Amino acid sequence: MKIAILGGTGDIGQGLALRLAADTPHTITIGSRDAEKAETKAEEYTTELDSRGLDAEVAGAENEVAAAGAKVVVLAVPPYHIGDTVEAIADALDEGDVLVSPATGMKRDDEGFHYHKPGAGSVTRIAADAAPDGVDVVGAFHNLAAARLANLDADLGIDTLVIGDDEDAKATVTDLAEGIEGLRALDAGGVANAPEIEALTPLLINVAEHNDGLNDLGIQFT
């Protein structure tokens, strides 16, 4: 399966690209608005994989080129770029393709990080509203610490929550996520349930901030 990770030069995009390339048979292309930046980063990721003896390659391309032909397109971009990004790739999407939303809205004050719920209800909902007809949106990967994901020496042993209104699309993303070693994907219902899941990101940062020895935290449901 061909996977595009838009915003794949950013931190969570890097982690997803490396893990999916290392642990799954899928073809990974990272996308950026800047094709050259995407290609340079993709070479870095491929070198990193090669240094570990992994015969896996990551390609890089401009967002629309990366999305073309991909069955799953991960929107690893800031929440305020979700709408623009989906619009920019809309022509490259086919019916049955799946968009994945891992982003959250946060604001920071003196006390810590807080979930900044978008007017639309959630970032996943923004993506769903922007998606062309026939393309489903699934929320996933919110609660993964970027640095831990990108460090292939770090064990995961954690869960991610998957939300979406189309069961087939959710199954596709669940399979993709569980291809990553040490990651369990749990169903958390429909897009309407996104806010509580997007709110996990600031929560995890706050908990890591206040407890010595707990960094790059993940969650296990048990």
Q: Which residues bind a copy of itself (CB under 8 A)?
A: 109, 111-112, 114-115, 157-158, 161, 186-190, 192-193, 195-197, 199-200, 202-204, 206-207, 209-211, 214, 217-222
- Minimum distance between the CB of residue 108 and a copy of itself, rounded to whole angstroms? 11
Least spacing, CB of residue 151 vs a copy of itself, in Å: 15
CA torsion sign for 34, 66, 216, 126 is positive
**Cβ contact 139:164 at 8 Å:** yes
- Under a CB-based contact definition with an 8 Å cutoff, are residues 140 and 177 in contact? yes
Closer to a copy of itself by Cβ: residue 112 or 179: 112
Q: Are residues 29 and 2 in contact, defined by beta-carbon separation less than 8 angstroms? A: yes
Min dist. Cβ of residue 34 to a copy of itself (A): 34
Q: Which residues lie across from 113 on neighbouring strands? A: 108
Instruction: Give the whole-angstrom CA distance, residue 162 versus residue 140.
Output: 5
The minimum distance between CB 198 and a copy of itself, in angstroms, equals 10
By beta-carbon proximity to a copy of itself, the closer residue of 86 and 161 is: 161
Please identify, using beta-carbon distances, which residue of 37 and 117 lies nearer to a copy of itself: 117
Q: Shortest gap between Cβ of 46 and a copy of itself (angstroms)?
A: 30
User: Which lies closer to a copy of itself via its Cβ, residue 81 or residue 114?
Assistant: 114
CB 215, min distance to a copy of itself, A: 11
Nearer to a copy of itself, 40 or 215 (CB): 215
CA dihedral 38→44→47→49, nearest 10 degrees, is -80
- Residue with Cβ nearer a copy of itself (33 or 184): 184
Question: Alpha-carbon distance 84 to 89, whole Å?
Answer: 9
Cα–Cα distance measured from residue 109 to residue 59, given in angstroms and rounded to the nearest whole number: 38
What's CA 135's distance to the chain center, in Å? Answer: 17
How many CB atoms are located within 10 Å of the residue 22 CB? 18
